[in-house]
Structure 1
Amino acid sequence: MKKVAVLVVLALCSVAVQAKSADEWKSRVIYQLLTDRFALTDSSSSSSCSDLSNYCDGGYHGYWQRNITLINSHYGSPDDLKELVSQCHKRDIWVMLDVVGNHMGNQNNGDWNNFAKFYPFNHQEHYHPYCMITDFNNQNQVEVCRLANLPDLDQSNSYVRETLKTWIKNTVLTYGFDGIRIDTTPEVPKDFWSEYTQSAGVFSIGEVDNGNPSYNAGYQGPEDATLNYPMYYQLRAAFQEHQSMKNIHSGVTQNQNAFKDVSVLGNFLDNHDNPRFLSKNGDHTALKNALAYIIFAEGIPIIYYGTEQGYSGNGDPRNRESLWPNYNANSDLYKFTSQLAKFRAQQGSSLWESKQIQRYVNDYFFAFTRGNIFVATTNIGSSFSIPITYHPYTNGTVLMNLLDSSDKVTVNGGQFTVNMNGPPKIYAPSNSL
C-alpha cells in the first residue's frame, strides 16, 4: 500500500462480462496504472507532473479515504466512472478496482482519537486502540496497529465489518468491476477477507508484500490469489542483480509446494511501492528477459504502466511518473511487450491451462515450456549455446522464434540447440503459428 493513489487495473484479451472468475482471469495480461498519471484531461498541461507526491491531473491519494460512499471529485462523478467501465467493456477490457479495508485516511492533526472527519467510520469504537506496527513478524501487531500512522479499522466491530462487506458488494454491482486488488492484505484477519471477497463476487488478488511463500499462501483461500512477491524477489535477484538463475528454479519449487494454485498468482516486476526494475539495472535486455518470464510463466502477468516506456523511478514517489509526455507506441520496449502479450493471447487455453515445466537451468540460463511454447531466458549479455534434451517435441519439429522469424531450430536426435546472445527467445512449432 504505502501512500498510493487509487489504482485502476486494466486487462487485455477475452470476452468482457461481469463477475469474472479466477479461471477466467488466467487468460489476461493486467496493465496496472495510477489514474491521474496515465492520461491528460483536456484542460491539463502537456508538461510532465512536477510534483510526484501530489496531484498531477486531478487525483492522487485514493488510499487515504475519508468518505467511502463518495467518488473523489478530482477523478470525476459516479456517472463518469460508470462510463469509464462501460467504455472499457466495449473495447474488451476488464477493469479491476484497488480497494482498501484496513484503514482510513491521514489524520494529520496529532489527535489520534479524533475520527470526526471520516465517514461512515467516525467513532473511536470503529478503530483499534492507537499503536504503530514496529515488528512485522508479530502478526497480532500487524493486524491491530497502524501502518504509516493511518487509523486502523477494527473489523471485529460488527458495524465496521458489515459496512465494508456491503460497500464492496454494492460498488462492484453499481460500477460493473470485473475484479478487485486488495491492499494491505496481511494487516487484516483472514476470516474477514473470506467474507469480504464472497461479498465482492469477483476475482480477488491481494497484496502480501512478503517473500515467504508459506506466509503468502495462507491468504489464498480467503482471497483467490496474491501478488507473487516470493517470485518477485527471486526474479529481481536473477535478472536485475545477476545472481544465479537457479534462484528462479528454487522460487518455482517453493511456490508449487506452498500455494494451492500458482496459476492465478500475480507475476510482476514493477509496481507503485517498489523501485522500478530499471532503477537498479538500466539494461533493457535484462528487463526483456524478465518480461518474457512473467508473461509466459504460470500465473497472471501484471505490467506496471511506464515499464513499457523504460521508466526507472527509484521508489515512492519517483516510481509514479506521469506517462505523458513520454507515451510512445513505437518504442522498442512497448513493441516488445505488446508482441509478447498478443502472442500469449493467441495461444488461448493451451497456454494458460498448461503447467510450467522447467527444461534447463544453470547460473545464467533458465528455460521452461508451457503447452507448445518454449521460453529461453538469460541474465548475461554474452553469446552461448545450450543443448536441450528434455522437451516435448518430436524429431523433425521445426521451432521458430516468435521474436525473430529467421531464427529456427530443428529437433534432431531427440535434442535441439538454443543459441543465446542476450535477448530472450520464445519458440513454438512453426506448424502451429
Structure 2
Amino acid sequence: MFILKHKPDKIDRYPIDRYNLVIKARIDSWDLSFEKDSIKLEFCYWNRQTDKPNEYRTEEMALVYKTKNSAHYELVLNTNYPTSYLKYFFKSGDDYYDYYGSSKEFIEGNAFEYLYTNNQIFDGEVSWLKDAVFYQIFPERFCNGNRQLDPINVEKWGAKPTSTNFMGGDIVGIIKRLDYLEELGINALYINPIFEANDNHKYDTMNYFKIDPHFGTEDDLKELVKKCHSRGIKVVLDGVFNHCGYSFPLFQKALKDKNSSFRDWFYFKEFELPDGKILDYECVGYYPFMPKFNYSNKEVREYIVRIGKYWIEEYDIDGWRLDVADEVEFQFWYRFREAIKEVKPEAVMIGETWGEQTSMFLENQMDSLMNYIFRDAVISYLAKERISTSQFDERLNSILWIYPKNRVNQLFNLLGTHDTERFMTVVEENERKYVLGLVLLYTFVGIPSLYYGDEFAMLGGNDPDCRKAMVWGETKFDFSKLIRRLVDIRKRYKAIREGSFKTIYCSDKQKVYAFKREYKKEKIYVILNISQFDQTCTLKENGVKEQEYINLLNEEEVIKKEKDDLFVDLPAQSAKILLGSQ
C-alpha cells in the first residue's frame, strides 16, 4: 500500500543534545485512495545492551505534514541517558519496516542501529539570534553622513544606480540614523562589505584590515558598534572570503611573478568566460575582477581566520554574514568557527546560499543560512501565482523538514537583498500583496531581515537597480507603521519566535492559507487570503478553551468562536493574525 523511507544518516536521524534524538520517516504512496491522516506510525526501539529485543518500547510518531503522495513523520526521542546502542524499526498496523524493507514479522537482525551520541559541541544555537530582527544596509546607498569622505566622482543622492557610480553613503550616515532604526524596532544590522575596495559594492576587497576610506575610519566603525550595542542592536559584517579583488596586493604579486610564493593562494590556470575571453586564473561568478582563493593552501586558511578574529577582537562585531559560503571548502568553516567562537562564543555565522544546504547546519558549520528558498516560495505563490495554495504549503513545510529542528528558528528569512529585485517591483506595485509578503516574513519560522528601503517599498530591478539611494523624506509608499506593528508582535509573543508551525487551513479554490504558531499555552493564528475576492474560512480547534480571538494587526477586531468553529472573514488579498483569549 505504501513505502516507508528512512535513511539512518544526519538527514533523518540526528541528536539535538546527548539525551534527545530526532527521528524522521516518510511514507510514499501513489494510490489516490491513500488516506494519509489515518496512518499511525510507531517508532519501536530497545537498548541492545540493557533490554531484550522482544520487550521493545514504542513511541507514536507525529504527522508533521503531507503532500499529494507522501506523509512526513517526526519524533524527538528522549532517552533520559546519553543516547547509545539503540536498535529500532518502524511499525504501522501489522507491518514492520526495518533496514531491509517491509515484512510481516519482527526480525531482530534487520533493525536499524544508532550507536552513540558523543559529547560533541552542540553550539549551533546562538541565544540572541532567534530574537533578532535584522535590517540589511548597503552602506554606499544608505545615508551620506560625512561629505568630506565622498569620492571625487560622487553623483547626486538618488541618481540612477549603475555598477560603477558612487553616491556617498558611509558609516557616519548609519550612525546618524540609529534613532530611526531603533524606532523601526530592529535589533540587528547586517552590513554589506565595508573594507577597502575599488567598486561601490566592495565585494572586490583590496585590504581586509582597513575600512574603505570613502566609508570612514576604523574609529567610525568602533563608534558605530559601541552605539549599536548601547541600544541593544547587534552588528554583523559581510565577510567576502571566497575571493578577493583584482587589486588585492598578494594577487597582484602572484599575477606578475610566476615564481611568487603567493601563486598557490589562487587558481592559476586557463579559465574561459562566457563571452569567450580567456583568463589565466579562476574567478567567482565569471567576474574577472574577483579571483578565487585556493583553500587547499594552509596560508590562505590561516589568513582568513586571522581576519575573522581581528574584527571581533578589535571592534567587538557580533559575527559574520559569509558571502557565497557554499563555494568555500566546507572543511574550512570548522576551523573558522572554532577560532571566532573562542574569541566571542555568541558570534554568529550566517552563510549565504541560494538553495538548500542542510549539511552546513547538520555538520555544525553555520549558525544560520540565508533562506532564499522561502523567498522563492513566497514569490511563486503570492507575487506570480504560479503555484497553488497546497503547493505553497508543501514548500513551506519542506523547509522545516529538511533543516534540523533545533536550527529552523535561526533561518535568515528575506524577501529581497542587494542581489535581487525589490519585492514591490516583484508584486508589480500591488500594495495588498506587499502587505501579505511582510506578514509572512515576520510570522514564518526563522528570523526576518528587511532590506534597507523596503519599509518604503522602494522599487528596483536586479543589481544594480536594487541598490538605489535610500529615500529620506516624502515617499510614495510607507509601510513603516505596519513593520513596527509586526516587529512588536514578534517581540511580544514567543509563539512567533520559537513556537511550532502547523498548517490549519489550505484551500486551493479559495486561495486561503492559515497556519498556527504555538509555544506552550500561547497560540497565534496567521490567515492569508491572496485571492481577489472576499473569503470566509472555518478554523476548527476542538477542545480549545479560547473563546475570543483578537486580530493583532487591528486590536479593535475581536472574533468570537461558535462552539468549536472559528469563522474568519477575510477581505480580498488581506491577512489577519489572531491571538486567542479565554
Relative to the length of structure 2, the TM-score reads 0.63
Identity among equivalent pairs (%): 25
**1:247 CA drift (Å):** 3.0
- Could you say what secondary structure the match of 1:81 adopts? helix
Opposite residue 375 of structure 2, the aligned amino acid is Y
Name the SS for the 1:356 alignment partner: strand
1:48 maps to 158
Cα distance between partner residues in 2 of 1:254 and 1:133? 37
1:85·1:177 contact (CA, 8 Å) conserved in 2? yes
Q: Give the drift of 1:73.
A: 0.7
- In structure 2, the residue matched to 1:33 is 137
1:77–1:20 CA distance, 2 compared to 1 (3 A): farther
The 1:199/1:22 distance shift into structure 2, 3 A limit, reads same
Distance 1:274 1:391 in 2: 43
For the residue of structure 1 that corresponds to 2:455, the secondary structure is helix
Whether the 8 Å contact between 1:179 and 1:203 is mirrored in structure 2 is yes
Tell me, in whole angstroms, the C-alpha distance in 2 between the residues paired with 1:61 and 1:368.
39
Q: Which structure shows the higher strand fraction?
A: 2
For residues 192 and 100 of structure 1, what CA distance do their matches in structure 2 show?
Answer: 14
The code of the aligned residue for 2:138 comes to L
Q: Is the Cα–Cα contact under 8 Å of residues 32 and 305 in structure 1 kept in the other structure?
A: yes
Where relative contact order (Cα < 8 A, 6+ residues apart) is larger, the structure is 1
Work out whether 1:314 is the aligned partner of 2:461. Answer: yes
Instruction: Give 1:302's aligned residue.
Output: 449
In structure 2, what residue type is equivalent to 1:353? Answer: E
The residue that corresponds to 1:173 in the other structure is 313
Aligned counterpart in structure 1 of residue 559 of structure 2, from 395, 403, 409: 409
User: For residues 107 and 47 of structure 1, what CA distance do their matches in structure 2 show?
Assistant: 27
Aligned partner of residue 48 in structure 1, secondary structure: coil
Task: Specify the SS of the correspondent of 1:166.
Answer: helix
| Residues 1:87 and 2:233 are matched in the alignment | no
- Would you say the 8 A contact 1:393–1:411 is kept in 2? no
- Kindly indicate whether the alpha-carbon contact (under 8 Å) linking 1:375 and 1:427 is maintained by their aligned counterparts in 2: yes
Q: Judge conservation of contact 1:47–1:324 (CA < 8 Å) in 2.
A: no
Q: Does 1:259 align with 2:388?
A: no
Secondary structure of residue in 2 paired with 1:209: coil
What amino acid does structure 2 have at the position aligned with 1:223? M
**Taking structure 1 as reference, are residues 116 and 309 closer, same or farther at Cα in structure 2, changes over 3 Å only?**
same
Structure 1 segments (4+ residues) deviating >4 Å: 112-117, 131-135
RMSD: 2.7
Following superposition, the deviation at residue 50 of structure 1 comes to 4.2
Work out whether 1:247 is the aligned partner of 2:385: no
Residue 381 (structure 1) aligned to one of 508, 515, 532 = 532
What 5-or-longer segments of structure 1 have no aligned partner? 1-18, 136-143
Contact 2:423-2:457 at 8 Å conserved across structures:
no
Given candidates 236, 254, 270, the residue that maps to 2:416 is: 270
Q: Using the alignment, how far apart are the partners of 1:115 and 1:235 within structure 2? A: 45
Q: What does 1:355-394 align with in structure 2 at a 5 Å threshold?
A: 355-363=500-508, 364-371=511-518, 372-390=523-541, 393-394=544-545
Query: Would you say 1:339 and 2:479 are equivalent positions?
Result: no
**How far is the alpha carbon of 1:193 from its aligned partner?**
1.5
Q: Closer, same or farther in 2 for the Cα pair 1:430/1:327, shift >3 Å?
A: farther
Scaled by the length of structure 1, the TM-score of the pair is: 0.83
Q: Can you list the C-alpha shifts for 1:143-169, whole angstroms capped at 9, x where unaligned?
A: x76322321101111111011112101
Supply the distance in 2 between the matched residues of 1:324 and 1:280 (Cα, whole angstroms): 19
| Structure index of larger Rg | 2
Contact kept, 8 Å, 1:130 with 1:146, in 2: the verdict is no
| 1:209 paired to 2:354 | yes
The superposition leaves residues 215-248 of structure 1 with CA deviations (integer Å, 9 ceiling, x where unpaired) of x212222111211122221111011112322233
1:357-390 deviation per Cα after TM superposition (whole angstroms, max 9, x unaligned) = 1111123121112122111123223211000114
DSSP 3-state at the match of 2:301: helix
In structure 2, distance between residues paired with 1:20 and 1:218: 13
Shift, 1:275, TM fit: 1.0
Question: CA–CA distance in 2 between the matches of 1:265 and 1:189?
Answer: 22
Give 3-state SS (helix, strand or coil) of 2:376's partner. helix
Equivalent position SS for 1:256: helix
2:425 pairs, out of 263, 267, 279, with 279
Match of 2:203 in 1: 63
Query: Residue 243 of structure 2 contacts residue 283 of structure 2 at CA under 8 Å; is this kept in 1?
Result: no
Tell me how far apart the structure 1 counterparts of residues 537 and 139 of structure 2 sit (CA, whole Å): 44
Tell whether 2:293 aligns with 1:153: yes
The change in CA–CA distance for 1:34 and 1:311 in structure 2 (over 3 A counts) is: same
Q: How many pairs does the alignment contain?
A: 392
Aligned partners of 1:169, 1:392: CA distance in 2, in Å?
53
Secondary structure in 1 aligned to 2:309?
A: helix
Residue 404 of structure 1: SS of its match in structure 2?
A: coil
Question: 1:257 Cα deviation (Å)?
Answer: 2.5
**Range that drifts further, 287-296 or 35-44:** 35-44
198-207 or 231-240: which moved more? 198-207
Conservation of the 8 A alpha-carbon contact between 1:64 and 1:105: yes
Q: CA shift at 1:132, angstroms? A: 5.0
| 2:527 alignment partner, SS class | strand
